[in-house]
Amino acid sequence: MISPTLDSIRIFLHVLAAAVWVGGQIVVAGVVPALRKSSGTEGTKSLANGFARVAWPAFGLALITGMWGLLARDGDSSTEYSVTFGIKFLLYIAAGASALAHARSMKRPVIAVTGALGLLFSLIVMFLGTLLAHG
């Protein structure tokens, strides 16, 4: 068996955090329409609150492990890598800001747009992370 290292643990935690954050958004988006029909706004509020208790710590863990990974880097320091990382980080912030606006809004159009943007930004962040890992 390959022995775990501190790097492998960091990468595992980073991927786990991203999976919870992004995968959770996808699952919630799929469940909300049916839940809204069966239990109305109370059910969706309960689901949103439960998701938030798990998702926001995952969002924070992704930030911590991402910064840890950046500090641990001894590889590529090319302009392409730096630009890709910078875009990833800006979209990470945009994803969090969208999710926060989504959670705090009371207006249905704003909730819809910020939820969709949060997921879109999060998916792009995951893709950019894949580029950075293999680039």
User: pLDDT of 40-54, one tens digit each?
Assistant: 788 898 999 999 999
Q: How far apart are CA 100 and CA 94, in angstroms?
A: 10
Confidence of residue 77 (pLDDT cuts 50, 70, 90): confident
pLDDT value at position 72? Answer: 87
pLDDT value at position 135? Answer: 64
Reported for 125-134, long-range contacts at CB under 8 A and 24+ positions apart, including other chains, are 125/18, 125/88, 125/91, 125/92, 125/95, 126/18, 126/22, 128/84, 128/85, 128/87, 128/88, 128/91, 129/14, 129/18, 129/88, 131/84, 132/81, 132/84, 132/85, 132/88
pTM of the model: 0.92
